[in-house]
C-alpha cells in the first residue's frame, strides 16, 4: 500500500499540461476530376487523379514491410504490414524507420525548418529535442499542439520527454501517453508500453492517468483504429 500511495502521489503532483484548442489544419484532397467541358469523363481517370494515386503509392512505400504483406505483424510501430496500415501511419504523422533515422540526425534548426515545411514527424522530433535540451515547457507545447491536430505519433514524443533525464521525469506520465495512443487507435503502442517494465501497481496508476488524459487532454476524441489487414 505504501508503494501504491507513492505512485499516486507522484501522479497527482505531476504538472498540468498545456491544452491546445487548435483544430486539425490538414484537409482531405479535393476531387479534381473535371474535364475541360466541366464534367468528368465517365470511366476515365484524369491526370490529377492519377498523379494523386502515384503520390500516395510513393508516400506509403517506405512504411511497408520489406518481407512482404502480413510478414511483419509483430514489427515496431513505424512498420506497416499492409498498404492500409501504411496509409494510416502516413495520415497520423508517423515517420517510416528510414525517415525517423534521418530526423534523428538533425539539429534543432534543421528540424524546425522541416517542421515549418509541413513534416509532421519532424514537428514531433523538434518538440522532443526542444524539451530535452532545457526548454521543457516550449517542447511540451509543440507536442501538445501536434497531438491536438490529430498527430498520434506526438503521443510517443510526449512519452519520450517524460522518460527523459530532466527535472520533469515521470514514469507514470510517460507510460500514460502511450496508453492514450492505444486508446486513440494505435494498437502497437501497447508493445512500447510493455517494454517499460512497469509494476502492477504502476499499471494501475497509468490506467487511471490515461483515463483522465483521454477526457481532459484528448477531449474524448473517437479512436482511429490502426488497420489489422
**pLDDT tens, position by position, 3-42:** 333 334 344 444 444 433 333 333 333 333 333 333 334 4
pTM above 0.95, yes or no: no
Lowest mean pLDDT among 18-27, 101-110, 220-229: 18-27
Nearest to 176 by CA among 162, 195, 197: 162
For residues 30 and 36, give the distance between their C-alpha atoms in angstroms, rounded to a whole number: 17
pLDDT value of position 103: 98
Q: What is the dihedral sign for C-alpha 139, 140, 144, 147?
A: positive
Residue 159's pLDDT band (boundaries 50, 70, 90)?
Answer: very high
pLDDT of residue 66: 84
Q: 3-state DSSP call for residue 151?
A: coil
User: Is residue 55 a part of any domain in this protein?
Assistant: no
Q: In this structure, is residue 66 part of a structural domain?
A: no
Give mean pLDDT, residues 163-175. 97
Instruction: Report the share of the chain in percent with pLDDT over 90.
Output: 69
Q: Would you say residue 57 lies in a domain?
A: no
Confidence of residue 71 (pLDDT cuts 50, 70, 90): low
3-class secondary-structure state, position 80:
strand
Residue 142 lies in a domain: yes
Gap between the Cα atoms of 193 and 197, Å rounded: 8
Task: Kindly list the distances between the CA atom of residue 137 and the CA atoms of 174, 179, 194, in Å, as whole numbers in the listed order.
Answer: 16, 22, 27
All three cell numbers of 171, joined, read 514514469
Note the pLDDT of residue 122. Answer: 99
Domain assignment present for 118: yes
Is residue 211 in a domain? yes
Asked if 122 contacts 108 with a C-beta cutoff of 8 angstroms, the reply is: no
Q: Are 94 and 152 in contact (CB under 8 A)?
A: yes
Does residue 96 contact residue 63 with C-beta atoms inside 8 Å? yes
67 grid coordinates: 518481407
In a domain, 10, yes or no: no
Q: Which domain holds residue 90?
A: 76-229
- DSSP code at position 61: G
pLDDT at 201: 96
Domain count, the chain: 1
The β-bridge partners of 149 are none
Please give the average per-residue pLDDT across 80-107, as a whole number: 97
Distance between CA 86 and CA 214 in Å, rounded? 25
Taken in order 31, 36, 39, 41, is the CA torsion positive or negative? negative
With respect to residue 46, please indicate whether it lies within any of the assigned structural domains. Answer: no
CA 52 to chain centre: 24
Amino acid at each position: 500500500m505504501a508503494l501504491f500511495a507513492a505512485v499516486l502521489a507522484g501522479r497527482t503532483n505531476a504538472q498540468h499540461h498545456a491544452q491546445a484548442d487548435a483544430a486539425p489544419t490538414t484537409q482531405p484532397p479535393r476531387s479534381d476530376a473535371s474535364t475541360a467541358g466541366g464534367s468528368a469523363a465517365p470511366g476515365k481517370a484524369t491526370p490529377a487523379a492519377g498523379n494523386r494515386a502515384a503520390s500516395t503509392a510513393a508516400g506509403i512505400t517506405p512504411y511497408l514491410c520489406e518481407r512482404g504483406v502480413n510478414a511483419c505483424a509483430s514489427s515496431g510501430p513505424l512498420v506497416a504490414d499492409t498498404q492500409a496500415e501504411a496509409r494510416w501511419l502516413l495520415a497520423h504523422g508517423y515517420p517510416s524507420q528510414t525517415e525517423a533515422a534521418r530526423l534523428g540526425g538533425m539539429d534543432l534548426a534543421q528540424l524546425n525548418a522541416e517542421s515549418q515545411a509541413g513534416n509532421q514527424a519532424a514537428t514531433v522530433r523538434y518538440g522532443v529535442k526542444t524539451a530535452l535540451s532545457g526548454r521543457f515547457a516550449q517542447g511540451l507545447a509543440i507536442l501538445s499542439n501536434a497531438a491536438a491536430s490529430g498527430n498520434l505519433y506526438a503521443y510517443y514524443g510526449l512519452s519520450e520527454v517524460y522518460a527523459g533525464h530532466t527535472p520533469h521525469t515521470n514514469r507514470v506520465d510517460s507510460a500514460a501517453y502511450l496508453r492514450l495512443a492505444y486508446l486513440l487507435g494505435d494498437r502497437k503502442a501497447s508493445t512500447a508500453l510493455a517494454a517499460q517494465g512497469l509494476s502492477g501497481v504502476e499499471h494501475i496508476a497509468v490506467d487511471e492517468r490515461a483515463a483522465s488524459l483521454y477526457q481532459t487532454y484528448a477531449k474524448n476524441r473517437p479512436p482511429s483504429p490502426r488497420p489489422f489487414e
